[in-house]
Amino acid sequence: MQRYFIKETYEAKSEYSVAGENYHHIVRVMRMKPEDQLFLVFDNGVVILGEISSIDEQEVLIRELSKEDGDKELPVNVTIACGLPKGDKLEWIIQKGTELGGHGFIGFPAKNSIVKWDHKKRGNKVKRLEKIAQEAAEQSHRQLMPEVRLLEKEQELIDSFSTYEKVLIAYEESAKQGEQSLLAETLKTLKPGGNLLIIFGPEGGFAPEEIDVFKENGGVSCGLGPRILRAETAPLYALSAVSYQLEMLL
Amino acid sequence: MQRYFIKETYEAKSEYSVAGENYHHIVRVMRMKPEDQLFLVFDNGVVILGEISSIDEQEVLIRELSKEDGDKELPVNVTIACGLPKGDKLEWIIQKGTELGGHGFIGFPAKNSIVKWDHKKRGNKVKRLEKIAQEAAEQSHRQLMPEVRLLEKEQELIDSFSTYEKVLIAYEESAKQGEQSLLAETLKTLKPGGNLLIIFGPEGGFAPEEIDVFKENGGVSCGLGPRILRAETAPLYALSAVSYQLEMLL
């Protein structure tokens, strides 16, 4: 069934009004009619199953039938920060990473990032990436829409370390050195509601001096197993590992 | 450093001869010269660091300097079987799945598969998929080249169940019902050297009658967490989970 993300906090009402893009999709794309059902996903993660009660020129009115049960979100908020990779890899990381439960996605210019985006370009990119995240969130039945940010400077990322419970750095050299336990050790310490930042390099990987600065600011470098993962594959491994540790190992 | 898969079993020799496609890549693409170094990966998983001793018109002769240490392969052989998905998704599953350690990849026509390939088409497809697997295996420093097969009938897959220690079916309905422990329970029972088959549906998912037949033949259906994963994302989640359980939770 279709899911629509509503940019408001849930509060019990007799009817909910949907306008704008969602209106267009419900009425013009899906051609829904009164009594058709859909999910509304509110900012605060509340999801209701609703039935269309009426449709006019500007808005669709929806009556709540029931709440969606079951939590679809990871028990901890995981933010994935990627040194800007080439081509459409960031789009791709955000689409798959949203399916896998990522809470936020950050692109930042790492030393080895080839792409450089000015302010205007970043603005347009973010809009496009938010659209990809929204579609993936709807398709994968998420209850929260991931936040997408593109940073002008790597330093902004480092300055944000203190806002996270843990900061992990996926570092190929750690993998080559056979470091395979820090990821699990870290995930095991996370409590529901905690937040985790995991940082990934671009194709060229991180420069040693970048790793040093990350570590000086509280980051912990870890491997993601003995195989060398591409820039776009490593974040999916990490999110899958978080899900497995916190949702499957019950 | 470049890795080349050699279709022979390792045995100690004074020099190893490389011809054909690998010769072309070493000499014409990489333009290597005597004394340049590279890795040779043999059929039985032995990897040597070698140095080029001579190059002539047909072959490159390579002298062994040392063996590569450390195991890059998953402790269990995981075969990923996918109901044929649309477009280039299978290419993509095989590229990423090889990075993540998949031992074999099988495409089969599931009830909801839209693509149907005749014998000739399958032959060409397999060649292309093997090339993708080889490139991914080289790039991710694998010690084994994954096997790729495209089946004519789903029954061939079912007939092969008995050759695996465990057969898991990734089933969306299990995920919706909140079944989240069977994957972990199964992975915990696997011993090094064991083999596991994990079956994934195409975009439309499996038909209930397909699941019934899989189960009658010993398959166990399990969820992959509370979010709905696309056909091309689910196999990556499963392979990451296997790696996390068997390589990271030490």
Q: What is the CATH number of the domain that holds B35?
A: 2.40.240.20
Q: Does one domain contain both A147 and A108?
A: yes
CA pair distance B220, B20, nearest whole angstrom:
44
Give which of B1, B245, B248 to mutate to test A binding, by max A Cβ within 10 Å.
B248
Q: Does one domain contain both A103 and A84?
A: yes
Q: Does one domain contain both A12 and A82?
A: no
Q: Does one domain contain both B160 and B82?
A: yes
The closest of A63, A65, A57, A66 to A19, measured between CA atoms, is A57
What integer pLDDT is reported at residue B117 of this predicted model? 87
The answer to whether the CB atoms of B228 and A139 lie below 8 A apart is yes
Q: Which residues from A are below 8 Å from B when comparing CB atoms? A: 70-72, 96, 99-101, 139-142, 178, 180-181, 183-184, 225-230, 233, 236-237, 240-241, 243-245, 247-250
Decide if B206 is inside a domain.
Answer: yes
Decide if B38 is inside a domain.
Answer: yes
Look over chain A and give the mean of its residue pLDDT values, rounded to a whole number: 93
Measure Cα distances from B73 to A181, B23, B124 in Å: 17, 26, 28
Minimal Cα distance from B101: which residue of A? Answer: A227
Minimal Cα distance from B93: which residue of A? Answer: A233
Decide if B169 is inside a domain.
Answer: yes
Q: Does one domain contain both A96 and A220?
A: yes
Instruction: Write out pLDDT tens, residues B146-182.
Output: 999 999 999 999 999 999 999 999 987 766 666 667 8
CA pair distance B68, B23, nearest whole angstrom:
21
Decide if A194 is inside a domain.
Answer: yes
Query: Which chain A residues touch B180 with a CB distance below 8 Å?
Result: 247-248, 250
CA distance A135 to chain B (A): 12
Decide if B72 is inside a domain.
Answer: no
What integer pLDDT is reported at residue A181 of this predicted model? 79
Q: In the sheet where B220-222 sits, what is the strand order?
A: B147-150, B104-108, B77-83, B195-200, B166-170, B220-222
The answer to whether the CB atoms of B237 and A243 lie below 8 A apart is yes
What integer pLDDT is reported at residue A175 of this predicted model? 62
Mean pLDDT value across residues B127-148: 95
pLDDT band at A152 (very low <50, low <70, confident <90, very high): very high
CA distance B119 to chain A (A): 32
Contact of B54 with B46, CB cutoff 8 Å: no
CA pair distance A87, B181, nearest whole angstrom:
38
The answer to whether the CB atoms of A240 and B241 lie below 8 A apart is yes
Instruction: Write out pLDDT tens, residues B93-125.
Output: 999 999 999 999 999 999 999 988 889 999 999
Percentage of chain A beyond pLDDT 90 is 87
Q: Does one domain contain both B108 and B230?
A: yes
Identify which has the larger pLDDT, A250 or A8: A8
CB atoms closer than 10 angstroms to residue B208: 10
Q: Does one domain contain both B57 and B96?
A: no
Residue A23 has pLDDT above 70, yes or no: yes
What integer pLDDT is reported at residue A220 of this predicted model? 93
The answer to whether the CB atoms of B228 and A183 lie below 8 A apart is no
pLDDT band at B69 (very low <50, low <70, confident <90, very high): confident
Q: Does one domain contain both A29 and A122?
A: no
Q: Does one domain contain both B61 and B85?
A: no
Instruction: Write out pLDDT tens, residues A58-78.
Output: 999 999 999 988 789 999 999
pLDDT band at A1 (very low <50, low <70, confident <90, very high): confident
Mean pLDDT value across residues A8-37: 94
Q: In the sheet where B37-42 sits, what is the strand order?
A: B3-6, B37-42, B47-55, B60-67, B16-18
> What's the whole-model pTM score?
0.92
Decide if A72 is inside a domain.
Answer: no
Q: Does one domain contain both B33 and B98?
A: no
The answer to whether the CB atoms of A139 and B226 lie below 8 A apart is no
CA pair distance B224, B238, nearest whole angstrom:
7
Decide if A141 is inside a domain.
Answer: yes
Give which of A68, A230, A237 to mutate to test B binding, by max B Cβ within 10 Å.
A237
CA distance A43 to chain B (A): 18
Overall number of domains in chain A: 2
Contact of A143 with A71, CB cutoff 8 Å: yes
Look over chain B and give the mean of its residue pLDDT values, rounded to a whole number: 93
What integer pLDDT is reported at residue B90 of this predicted model? 97
Which among B67, B87, B121 is the end of a domain?
B67
Query: Which chain B residues touch A94 with a CB distance below 8 Å?
Result: none
- Beta partners for B16? B62
What integer pLDDT is reported at residue A177 of this predicted model? 63
A34 phi and psi angles, rounded to 5 deg: -50, 145
Q: Does one domain contain both B194 and B127?
A: yes
Domain that holds residue A233: 77-248
Which among B42, B67, B92 is the end of a domain?
B67
Q: Are strands A77-83 and A195-200 parallel, antiparallel or unpaired?
A: parallel
Instruction: Write out pLDDT tens, residues A161-205.
Output: 999 999 999 987 766 666 667 899 999 999 999 999 999 999 989
Helix extents (H) in B109-198: 119-139, 154-159, 172-176, 182-189
CA pair distance B98, B104, nearest whole angstrom:
8
Minimal Cα distance from B233: which residue of A? Answer: A96
- Beta partners for A147? A104
ipTM of the complex: 0.91
Of A72, A96, A245, the CB nearest to B233: A96
What integer pLDDT is reported at residue A69 of this predicted model? 80
The amino acid sitting at B143 is Q
Percentage of chain B beyond pLDDT 90 is 87
What integer pLDDT is reported at residue B177 of this predicted model? 63
Q: What is the CATH number of the domain that holds A181?
A: 3.40.1280.10
pLDDT band at B1 (very low <50, low <70, confident <90, very high): confident
Q: Does one domain contain both B36 and B110?
A: no
Residue B230 has pLDDT above 90, yes or no: yes
Decide if A29 is inside a domain.
Answer: yes
Which among A15, A43, A67 is the end of a domain?
A67
CA pair distance A211, A221, nearest whole angstrom:
8
